[in-house]
Each structure stands twice: as structure tokens, then as C-alpha cells.
Amino acid sequence: MDYPSIKLTKISTLSIIILLALSCLLAFHVTPASAQGQISVTVRVEKPDKPLCQETVTLTGGFTKDGKNFNEPCPLEALDRAAASGGFTYTATWYATATPPDYFITNITVGGDSISNIGYCVSGVWPAYGVGYGWINCCPDLQDGDEIVFYDVGAGWVFPSKILKINVSNTEILREDSITITAYEADILWQQFKTSPPYDNPWPNVSWAASQGAKVFVGQYAGITTDSNGKATISGLSLGIHEIYVEKSNSIRSARVSVTVNAYAGYSETQIEALNTAKSVVSSSGNVVEAYELLVENGIISSSLPAFSPSLYEKLTEIYGPNLERYPTFEGRIQLLYSMGIETLS
């Protein structure tokens, strides 16, 4: 039995109707409601070329749609609550001849973007069931922390083969700090349609591994990819909140993780502005002297360093690179370069 939300190849509307009609010959399995309490899940709406929405919502299992009661948490309740909090709309089409009869998501509109060929994935598994009764009666209970992705597979119903996730070393940093992200990938698994119990046994379990070559996005592509250990380091982020995620070919991108960048400890807004100007000077012209003078004038550098011996110079460049590009702070780097007699960076 195939459903519109899990088609691997494009089929006609008539074919869908015929297939759904045939499903009425299959047995309808009903399980009692669980005694689950509240759980929190993340709902994402994704297109292959860009993320559309990400909301974390609380599910209670006390959900009603069009007079139909869903007494356990399910992907339909998750989408409905995400739409309410995220300000987007969706269309859930009822198929009475499905087994079990259920809703399938046929449209989601977020802002100016609309998707209509929709598959859904729960923590790395494509379920071969609808989003309400199909999930409740045929799949495991949703768990706290599950991620539900509604994905536009396009008119050709081409499903990605992998899903990505990331961890970040810190979600709140000072501007002079860097953060390390670690990307993981897993093969997306299918829960095949079953017509007799046990419906959810065995449920596929995804296996996560380091993801090499994933592109890192900080709002937009940051120009770096993850190494063989799935890691990438990001530095020089501006003040504010940044959403970081990764993408890779033929994969569902990772969820977005928010990182807050705070002002330098003890620096005034004027000093932060001067620091940003000095960075721009070095970036555009490589003029170490001009950057140094800006930092001195604004009290970011309070006194000059003595001249360095050749051995200390060599040791510093060995540790931090020829232009000290890996030195922990920008102002410290400029102070050292100036003391070494380096006036311009090539």
C-alpha cells in the first residue's frame, strides 16, 4: 500500500485513489491510548534548497481536528501546534479508505513558500503511515526530543537518503571566542507498511556517524566544510544571535542551532565599534599600523610591548601561523604583529 506522502515515483491522482480504495480490504488495527504525559518535539518544514520553519512544541495527546480525536501525541498534533506558533498554514487531507483511515499532509505554506509533495520523517525514519491514527495505531509512541521533518520531495517524489544533525561546543560565547561544530549523518530508514500486528516491531533505529564534507551555514554558507571527524571551527562572529546548520548533497539538512555572541568582556560600545573598524582595516588593506593606532586611541591596547627576540618570534609564528592568524584575540594579534615590526600583511 502506497500513500501520497511516501511515493517514490510520480503517480496520477487516479492511481492514488485506486490504491487507497484497495487498502479498505486490509485490517484496521486499534491500540488503546497511552498514558503519556506532555512531551516536547521539534517540527521542521524543509525544502531541498532552504529551510522554511523550525518550531519546538509541547504535545499532550489531547488533540481534536474536524471532530476527530487523537488521544496520543502524533505528528499531526505536532504540525498543528507548530503552525500556530510559527504562523504558517497547512492542509491535511482525510483519506477514509486508508488503513487505518487517516490524514495525509498535502500542503504547507510558510510565508511565500508552499510545498505540496510532502514526506515526513521522524528522528531519521520515514513512516509508511498517515500522520494521525496511522502513527498512533501503527508506530511507537512519540518520545520527548523527537524531531519531525516535513520535507518537499518534489514532483518526482525523490527522497533524500541521509539526515544530518549537529552539536555545538557552546551556545553562548564572547565575540573573541570561536565555536566548534560537530556534524553527524545517518541513513534514513523506512518503516514498511504492515497489515497485521505487531505494527511497530521491529522499529528501525538509525545509526549516527561523523559527517565529512558537510557545508556549514551561519545564516548563509560560511565557506567552510566539516573535516573527517565531522568538525569545523567558526570564529569572528558578529554580536547577536546566529542560526547555524549544515547541508550536504542528497541529505535533509540539520536542525538550526542558535548561538548567541555577546560583547567583549569589559568593552564599551565605542571600543567594540573601534575594534570592528580595526578588523575591517586589516581585512581590506592589511595595514597593521593603522589598526594598532585605532586600538591604542580607544584604550583597547593600553601600552606597547618591547621588541621580541628572533627565537620568540619564531616560536610565536610556529604556534599561531606566519601572520599569527590563529592567535586567540584580534587585538592581541595586532599588538604582537606591531611589536614584531610587521606593518602590513600581504
Between CA 330 and CA 180 the distance in angstroms is: 18
Cα of 145 vs its chain's centroid, Å: 14
Residues 207/143, Cβ–Cβ less than 8 Å: no
For the stretch 263-291, pLDDT in tens is 766 778 788 889 889 989 998 999 999 99
- The amino acid occupying position 253 is R
Q: Is the pLDDT of residue 2 over 60?
A: no
Q: Which fold has domain 161-187+209-262?
A: Immunoglobulin-like (2.60.40)
Yes or no: say if 3 and 103 are a contact pair by the CB < 8 Å rule: no
CATH code, 1-159: 2.170.130.30
CA torsion through residues 236, 238, 244, 247, sign? negative
Residue 62's alpha-carbon distances to 33, 55, 65, 76, 194, in angstroms, are 11, 19, 10, 12, 26
In the predicted structure, residue 243 carries a pLDDT above the cut 80? yes
Question: Stretch 108-128: mean pLDDT, rounded?
Answer: 95
Q: Could you report the per-residue pLDDT of 149-181, keeping only the tens digit for each?
A: 999 999 888 999 999 999 999 998 887 788 999
pLDDT score of 116 more than 90: yes
Domain ranges of the chain: 1-159, 161-187+209-262, 269-339
Q: Is the separation of the CB atoms in 278 and 291 below 8 Å? A: yes
pLDDT score of 30 more than 70: no
Question: Grid coordinates standing for 128?
Answer: 509508511
CA angle at residue 308 from 306 to 310, to 5 degrees? 165
What lies within 8 Å, CB to CB, of 209 at 6+ separation is 184, 185, 186
pLDDT classification of 262: cutoffs 50, 70, 90: confident
Residue of 304 and 78 predicted with greater confidence: 78
Q: Which pTM was predicted?
A: 0.69
